[in-house]
Structure 1
Amino acid sequence: MFILPVIFIDLVQVLNPGVYIDTIRMYDEMHTFRILGWEGIDDYKEAPLSKLYLYIISLADVNQLLPIITCFLVYFILLYIVNKIGNVLEVNNKIKCLAILYMVLSIRYITITTNIRCPLALAMFFCILMYDLLDNKNKIFCIIGYIISILMHPLVLVLVLIRILSKFSLKYTIALIIILGSVCISYWNEIPNIMLNFSNVDIIAGLVAKQQGYTDRAETGAGEIISIYWRILLGMFDILGGILSILLIKYLNTVAYQKYKALINSIILISIIDFFLVVLTPESGGRLGYIILYTISIYIYIISKKEYFRLSKIGYENFKIIIRGLFIIWLIYFLYFNMFLLAKNFIFNYFI
């Protein structure tokens, strides 16, 4: 409940001079919708649900409803699915509360209310992914959910492809990604034109356009994304996700590993791809990393079940100590993205 008062703070009103956020552009687009109607905006061909979302909210004639509704939806979706999976896995209430608390603290409120589309699409994707991998939902339901998420933001297409790759041999898939990643680093500026030559699909074109935008901003030094601290923390979190997943592969018993194999493989692949993107364009890389951030709440459930592990009692306790040590990385991540950036980019005396 302590989240609710924060939801109603419009960060656009307390933005420091010279700082730009996507919400400002979306407020302008909603104003255009009110004057010219649906045809007034020709953007979002690659993400028609984003256009519909903005259009519907614009009908209320209150711009602030956009971050308020988005924030509510993201928190609701993520906390709902964490609680739901806790019930499915039959963890005790203490562990469930710990996982929910972790999720509440990990959600980047600033990003939700200033970026809007991508955080909402990623929350939707994460929810469907958990239904797909852990709740054994009907596959048609999950496919529809994945498509809806892609139509909200084309970045989700990358995550859906990773979900497909997680079904294959992890060793060979990692080797393929590392090879492709090395090629991408060498020919990064040429890749957009190559992709567009092979496809004129709006979703692909939109994904390429977004990535070009991130690359241009990184190369010109625009904004916070070139911060060395930003890059280091995103890279560290990718490494954290990879280490946690590798530890689970190493110590889970055969039955438990088979149960969570697709999830663990997906997080390892996201960690590797996200790390490459952090090196090239940290803004887009950080967005993929949300799925790692959210999945750790599910890892808390897995780690809490001693029967899942082929470890002695002492070995299991030592394993948990190592896991707690790794959460220092999460604490640094939390302090930087949820507190430092808030203090840096927004005017606190507005609230006094």
Structure 2
Amino acid sequence: MNPDASQGAAAEEDLVQLVAPDGRRTDGEQAAAYRDRAAHLGTDELRAMYRDMVLTRRFDDESTALQRQGELGLYPQGRGQEAAQVGSGHALHPQDFVFPSYREHGVLQVRGVDPVDRLRIYRGTEHGGWDPADHNVHLNTLVLGSQTLHATGYALGVQRDGLVGTGDPQRDTAVVTYFGDGASSQGDVNEALVFAAVNNAPVVFFCQNNQWAISEPTSRQTRVPLYKRGEGFGIPGVRVDGNDVLASYAVMAEALERARTGGGPTFVEAYTYRMGAHTTSDDPTRYRERAEEEEWALRDPIDRLAALLRAEDRWDDAWAADVEAQADSLAERLRADLRALEDPASTSMFEHVYATPHSQVEAERAWFEAYEHDTAQDERDSSREAAR
């Protein structure tokens, strides 16, 4: 069991929540401070969030199954974190730029990254998978926390390009970096917070606290709520119910507005739970108990939004069936197109190493091509010799 019970209890006191687990709209000071941020979301917007959450979970389940079948080398599950990702993703403007880690499947769904492209790196056919310029989403980052420095540097560039505080909503730009509770202990994250704070960078640090950094509970990462770490650097922090898609949207909307208008960075802690394994090479039964998982299952983010839609007469069975049909189609296409991916040319490893041609890389490419040619010739000669 996660031994951080005291911090979990404190989390309920300072948690921004707009929708309770049973689908009721909440009251209180925390809700009142952010309710207006989500007041304009109507039936179409709420249904779009629900759809993205359902498709994200189906993508997650199908990808896990594909890894178990040997079609992927590894896969990091995101089940349970759909609201934090989809809600925050819907608050983004097209010009905003995102730096993910490796579990932001819901953010990639919202930004329109093709499902097959998201898995190329786990299939081993590419180091990336998509062109960041097509979606304003950087490639997945597997080195813990390093993307926070990349995001801060990019934000400083945005700032110096005059794309902050202009008053033009189609021009003002924010940068977002996603990372986990475990990554928050990395030196890169703390360095990024320093640079962002002193330069008033237009960046949002979105930390998904899913309670477990692989097998280490949050109590082994910090003695105070994670969002308070920002305050130590001079960055305002807020803790949001990461299983509440409306609250995640509202908190992110405020943080993004602050960044775009020149107000500087924000540290957002989305208090959520990883319902699955850290990756498909992990066995969570070794370090957490079934009772904890069952408790968090009652806070399922998709069920919560469905309950809200039903309570407010925004639910329609035909529409919901269509969403499920879309999920089935996504899974079918994912299986077929992933298995159809061809292995890349071995010389592709020399591409995109540097932005411009590099003499050493070109020399290594030439050597490798000659090596491959000679190896292939030796194999042909051996085959002919054996045939005699």
Larger Rg: 2
For the aligned pair, the TM-score class normalised by the smaller chain equals 0.3 to 0.5
Whichever structure has more helix as a proportion of its residues is: 1
Q: What TM-score does the superposition give when structure 2 sets the normalisation length? A: 0.34
